[in-house]
A and B are shown apart, each in its own frame.
Chain A
Amino acid sequence: MKLPLTLGVTLLLASTVAMAGQGRLLATGGVTEIEGQSGGGIVPWAVIAGYGTRDQVDGTAFVTGLGTGDYDLTALGAAIGIDNRFEVSIAKQHLNLGTLGELIGLPGESLRQEILGLKVRLFGNLLYTPEPQVSLGVQYKRNIDGAFVRSVGAQSNHGVDIYLAATKLFIAGAFGRDVLVSLDLRATKANQIGLLGFGGDRGDGYNVEAEASLGLMLDPQTVIGVEYRRKPDNLGFAREDDWSDFFIAWFPTKSIALTAAYAALGSIARLPDQQGFYVSVQATF
């Protein structure tokens, strides 16, 4: 119950203290990825949450749902962007085990994870420098259902992901439209982004995984794109696959962004070929 309180306080802070600087251009804050940091749908970008420039503080809040038929994943959280330099975020994920829960005799069972995120922009500007915007990000993840994840072979119920992200928007990059290119290198022990714990019987060291997003701005309000996220494969009981998606994000104003995607998540806990629709709403204060 701590998280809703934290979320409430964050939203309150965002709405009262922040006073919406919103000095950056539309869509340049990205949306909120599934772990609560600014980015695409399943991959963080180097951008800082909200639309603040230096001396401005913005807040965002998001809720995301992803259903594969067998599983349902929901995530919600909030972030604050400070001076277009720092980002602090919290998120909570809730994976309803659905079909798997019935197979293992635990109908209605779910796995929950809390994530505290920090991101700092090291150098560069998404739009205005020849070099990309480069940020260092950290995600501290704690799986609340530690007994379950240990029972499937995870070494720990908590872990820290560290990544370096480089993101650039090429103005008129293709077909006269702006092109977004983003690459991450992430050091992680997480199984299924932490929903199945950290480390496993097949390996307990850090893996360095590449993640990428490629987007095309159809107009100043609309981005379509693809994402790909490589993942470790630490658990012997079930193979883990890379994730990918196709997305469309719409930014009618600087206050709101809507994202729809089709995500292919591969095999999850022995249920093969998990894929389905993803929808996300982000509000910016």
Chain B
Amino acid sequence: MKRAGNLLIAVMFLLGTGTAFAAGARTDDSLYQALGGKAGITAIVNAMLTNVADDMRIVHYFADANIVHVQHGLVTKFCAITGGPCHYDGLNMVDTHRGLHITPAAFNALVEDLQAAMAHLKIPLATQNRLLARLVPMRNEIVEH
């Protein structure tokens, strides 16, 4: 049992580094296809924004936003980071969110609205998680420090 414990500890170090590498790989459009391409991504973004509209925790962040512009930007961004044939040429994530004072709690609320949207659209959990893994690295550019 002691040996098993030491093995567990060693395996976890390896797993930690291995999964970090896997998360960095981004060479194909399999995630874009798994999400249903441009139409699937558009449905996810629309469902997420519908949730946001009812979310008292964060809806005020969008009070002055051009929602058509936001929707287009999100679809293009999601398409681009999942390997789809889109080129995001909007403002970078820092400039897009400048002055909005987005808190860690607000960011997490948006993640929950996205998760609920994907669950509502019956997107397989593994596909949901792959998309979240691509979005998470942007968090530090979005949240105000």
Contacts and interface: CB of A to CB of B under 8 A. Distances in A.
Interface of A: 21, 23-25, 53-56, 84, 127-130, 132, 168, 170-179, 181, 183, 210, 212, 214, 219-220, 226, 228-230, 241-242, 244, 264, 266
A172 B133 CA distance: 7
B1 A171 contact: no
B78 to A, nearest CB: 16
A181 B126 contact: no
Q: Which 5 A-B pairs have the closest CB atoms?
A: A176-B126, A23-B105, A172-B129, A228-B5, A53-B104
Contact of B105 (A21, A127, A230): A21
B54 to A, nearest CB: 18
B5 A175 contact: no
B5 A171 contact: no
Given A170-B23, A176-B130, A183 B9 contact: yes
A241 B1 contact: yes
A127 B138 CA distance: 12
B19 interface: yes
Contact of A179 (B9, B15, B127, B130): B15
Contacts of B133: 171-172
Nearest to B124: A176
B136 interface: yes
Interface stretch (B42-50, B66-74, B92-100, B109-117): B109-117
Interface in B49-103: 103
Contacts of B132: 171-172
Given A228-B4, A266-B1, A54 B103 contact: yes
Interface of B: 1-2, 4-5, 8-9, 11-13, 15-16, 19-20, 22-23, 103-106, 108-109, 111-112, 115, 124-127, 129-130, 132-133, 136, 139-140
Given A178-B129, A212-B9, A219-B125, 9 more contacts: A23-B105, A23-B109, A53-B104, A127-B136, A170-B19, A171-B129, A176-B129, A212-B12, A226-B8
Contacts of A25: 108, 111-112
B23 to A, nearest CB: 7
Given A53-B105, A172-B126, A264 B9 contact: no
Contact of B1 (A53, A177, A242): A242
Contacts of A219: 125
A230 B5 contact: yes
B15 A242 contact: no
Which of B15, B108, B132, B136 gathers most chain A CB within 10 Å?
B108
A94 B104 CA distance: 39
13 contacts: A25-B111, A53-B103, A53-B104, A54-B104, A56-B105, A128-B139, A129-B140, A170-B19, A171-B23, A171-B129, A173-B15, A175-B126, A230-B2
B8 A214 contact: yes
A55 B104 CA distance: 10
Contacts of B8: 212, 214, 226, 228
Given A128-B140, A212-B12, A174 B19 contact: yes
Contacts of B126: 172, 175-177
A214 B111 CA distance: 24
Contacts of B130: 172, 176
Contact of B16 (A170, A172, A266): A170
Contacts of B106: 23
B9 to A, nearest CB: 5
A1 to B, nearest CB: 38
Contacts of A55: 103
A100 B27 CA distance: 61
Given A53-B103, A171-B129, A23 B19 contact: no
